[in-house]
Structure 1
Amino acid sequence: MSNQIRARDIGIPLKGTPGTWNSITDVPGVEVGHRTLIEDSDEQSMNKKSVRTGVTVVLPRGKNISGNLEQQQVFGAWYSLNGNGEMTGTTWLEESGLLGPIIAITNTHSVGTIRDAAIQWILQQSNQSSLSDDVYCSLSLPVVAETWDGLLNDINGFHVRPEHLFDAIKTASSTRVDEGNVGGGTGMVTHKFKGGIGTSSRQHNKYTVGVLVQSNYGKRNQLTIAGIPVGEEMLDEFLPISEQEKSKLKEQGSIIVVVATDAPFLPHQLKRLVRRVPIGIGLVGGRGGDSSGDIFIAFSTANQQIMGRQTDVLHLDMLPNETMDPFFEAVTQATEEAILNAMIAAETMEGNHGHKVYAISHERIREILKKYNRLKNN
């Protein structure tokens, strides 16, 4: 899927300087992998059970972590704009400021399966006898997040299995990230268009901020691209074919956002960073509705030299708070672009019971941006 079209390719004007891949994998050491599940039963359209789901993993220090797992931890923080959703492991993350070696994102009914599989994978990498009690507990509380894909996916069929997580980890890489209908984002919907996985990055001085989203939220009329009310212009175009989706105005769904950086920030600073995610979502039209699970996590890959050290005093690196403004801007910009990349890369999908969700038209976006003098000529 390396030839996927992205937001910048169709002339959407976006601020900031991205990294090489314009991806969360521009942060050194970070890897992303997907396992996508697409299957159909032989029944007729309205009774057809379709699998449109999967799992996506973000590995802060990559998949080759055998040995001292204490050194594979990262500083982290999380934040929820609206909590109608789930992200496991956040209680200990809030308490300790430490995050283990894996973040996974899947559908709502597969969180438990993927969490258990994540623990199994972690234990397979470790020498359990060498771990301290605190670290052992930390690694046994992995972060797994979800959004609901039950419109297109037979979510009650529990199709995601432990081996699918292992497959996603095996395929994880630090290069280009597939977007749209992949991994945990396979069956997701954004602003009543097809959504899914998206990513973007920004560079500031020698540091990088990367963002990955699983986008599954939003009203049609609130969709905004480059400040233009694209959703209002397309209010009655390409609407999902589904009895459940007749209302164009009701907010449904969720968004999970992962923020990574190699800048040396401590947990309290990462909390400040992750709180800027909703600004980027708002630029695309998200409002954090009552039934939306908008949950975000941030981590820094810096300070690996102190992780797992048994000493009375630890000496670590930290950027001053007064240097953080450009990083706040980077999170905002990369979040906005990651959501747009998810929508632009996604393809029209028919799924469970014949429900169909259309991809947003690239040509219509260009027409609307041109109408408002916002189209960028590449």
Structure 2
Amino acid sequence: MKAALALLAVALASQADARARDLGIPFEGKAGPLNAITDIRGVEVGQKTLIEGEGALKVGVGPVRTGVTVIFPRGKADARPVYGGFFNLNGNGEMTGRAYLDDFGIVQGPVGITDTNGVGQVYAGIQQWHSKHFGSATWPVVAETWSGYLSDLEGYHVTPETAVAALDSAKPGVVEEGNVGGGTGMVCFGFKGGIGTASRVVTIESESYTVGVLVQCNTGARRVLRIAGAPVGAALANRWLPCFDRKLAAKAENLPPCTEDGSKGVAPPDQGSIIIVVGTDAPLMPKQLDRVAKRAAMGLARLGSYSGNSSGDLILAFSTVPGEVNHEDQAKPSPIQAIANANVDPIFEAATQATEEAITNALVAAKTMTGANGARYFGIPHDELRSILKRYNRLEVTK
């Protein structure tokens, strides 16, 4: 049995690196060249992944399955704030910077995403990095999801230095997805989850704009999962379920043992949280960005989520349009000319579409992971996913 489980873990972990579209999953809308939040000019993403140890949980030692993901709206060489918006779909989570968002509608500095007990450390790391590079600290947005299924959460392994490493690594271009950065220890609809991204390009009054989304997915009940409209969660309700090494875990009699296909596991409830960051180069004011953030929630709903009581589902939106924003020290009016509300529907639609695809990309990219006390969370099996989609006529022919 041990040998079979080991072979299974290797097979699942070695699924070819793929994104949702590579599997033939259909999506609406026109994606940008990278199909990532970095399709927005100037946006840079950095990540630091911490994976250490295995076996029984020992607080302060490990196993460690965590990290930090950061997003620079204007790139790490440009400290100017951007207009921002926010939507609290369900508040069982934390996102700093709400006072600035509520009163001034701005986002200061880079956005950090990490695990639940790392918020303060990442906040401090961003302040230290910003002070070193620009001469003063900033008051950033930092958000979290809970890594306690797989990682030594109470060991406080994320430090300010972890955040600094993520900040230093930030760059434009391709964004790594799945078990990386803040998403390292996360679970999504009962499968291994993590980081995902996507983008859309829209035209409004002959002007082209990009909407990009990055998610850290750690939410969702297995039974409700829908991908491209197909009831994938129901089809896989009794297989590839989370399981544990009962020799390692405390109170093992209450935990499901691992089998070759996870058929004796138990699906977790809708809890654990999701952070969604929506960026755009479209000229939008803070209230408009609040409305964009709400539409990202509809992208989450397309996957079947009902935003459970124990899930912190928090959404940030920002605009990178050039020009001074009305921050607390600005003496002149902002020169930004916003898109008329009557013309903003394509941005709303793009935010919904890109969020749906970003979450699906997180699921597809994430690979099976074993963490604290031998807890194993399976990556969604690509072949079976394709088979289910084909059954419901929701599979595109791939080249």
TM-score by length of 2: 0.86
Instruction: Quote the residue 1:353 is aligned against.
Output: 373
Instruction: Quote the residue 1:5 is aligned against.
Output: 18
**Higher mean C-alpha displacement, 312-321 vs 194-203:** 312-321
Cα RMSD of the aligned pairs, angstroms, is 1.9
Relative to structure 1, is the Cα distance of residues 124 and 248 closer, same or farther in structure 2, using a 3 angstrom cutoff? same
Instruction: Quote the residue 1:252 is aligned against.
Output: 271
Instruction: Quote the residue 2:202 is aligned against.
Output: 204
Relative to structure 1, is the Cα distance of residues 343 and 353 closer, same or farther in structure 2, using a 3 angstrom cutoff? same
1:248, distance to aligned residue in structure 2 (A): 2.8
Instruction: Quote the residue 2:72 is aligned against.
Output: 59
TM-score by length of 1: 0.91
Unpaired segments ≥5 residues, structure 1: 129-138
What CA distance in whole angstroms lies between the structure 1 residues aligned with 2:216 and 2:98? 18
What CA distance in whole angstroms lies between the structure 2 residues aligned with 1:212 and 1:316? 25
Instruction: Quote the residue 2:29 is aligned against.
Output: 16
Instruction: Quote the residue 1:261 is aligned against.
Output: 280
What CA distance in whole angstroms lies between the structure 2 residues aligned with 1:352 and 1:13? 36
Where 1:284 maps in the other structure, the secondary structure is coil
**Higher mean C-alpha displacement, 297-306 vs 44-53:** 44-53
1:284, distance to aligned residue in structure 2 (A): 0.8
In the alignment, does 2:109 pair up with 1:101?
yes
Aligned partners of 1:221 and 1:249 also within 8 Å:
no
In the alignment, does 2:83 pair up with 1:75?
yes
1:287 to 285, 298, 306: 306
Q: Matched residue pairs, number?
A: 360
Q: Deviations over 1:299-335 (max 9, x none)?
A: 0001325577854443322110011111111000000
Amino acid at match of 2:176: D
Relative to structure 1, is the Cα distance of residues 244 and 218 closer, same or farther in structure 2, using a 3 angstrom cutoff? farther
1:373, distance to aligned residue in structure 2 (A): 1.2
Relative to structure 1, is the Cα distance of residues 32 and 91 closer, same or farther in structure 2, using a 3 angstrom cutoff? same
Aligned partners of 2:323 and 2:335 also within 8 Å:
no
What CA distance in whole angstroms lies between the structure 2 residues aligned with 1:330 and 1:315? 25
1:191, distance to aligned residue in structure 2 (A): 0.8
In the alignment, does 2:247 pair up with 1:234?
no
1:278, distance to aligned residue in structure 2 (A): 1.1
Relative to structure 1, is the Cα distance of residues 102 and 244 closer, same or farther in structure 2, using a 3 angstrom cutoff? farther
Where 1:276 maps in the other structure, the secondary structure is helix
In the alignment, does 2:375 pair up with 1:377?
no
Matches within 5 A, 1:1-378: 4-40=17-53, 44-45=55-56, 49-65=62-78, 69=79, 72-128=80-136, 140-205=138-203, 206-242=208-244, 247-248=266-267, 250-305=269-324, 310-378=330-398
Where 1:200 maps in the other structure, the secondary structure is strand
Amino acid at match of 2:116: T
Where 1:197 maps in the other structure, the secondary structure is strand
**Higher mean C-alpha displacement, 46-55 vs 148-157:** 46-55
What CA distance in whole angstroms lies between the structure 2 residues aligned with 1:236 and 1:304? 53
Q: Deviations over 1:199-218 (max 9, x none)?
A: 00000021000000000001
Where 2:302 maps in the other structure, the secondary structure is helix
Relative to structure 1, is the Cα distance of residues 99 and 46 closer, same or farther in structure 2, using a 3 angstrom cutoff? closer
What CA distance in whole angstroms lies between the structure 1 residues aligned with 2:64 and 2:335? 50
1:372, distance to aligned residue in structure 2 (A): 1.0
1:247, distance to aligned residue in structure 2 (A): 4.5
1:75, distance to aligned residue in structure 2 (A): 0.3
1:27, distance to aligned residue in structure 2 (A): 0.4
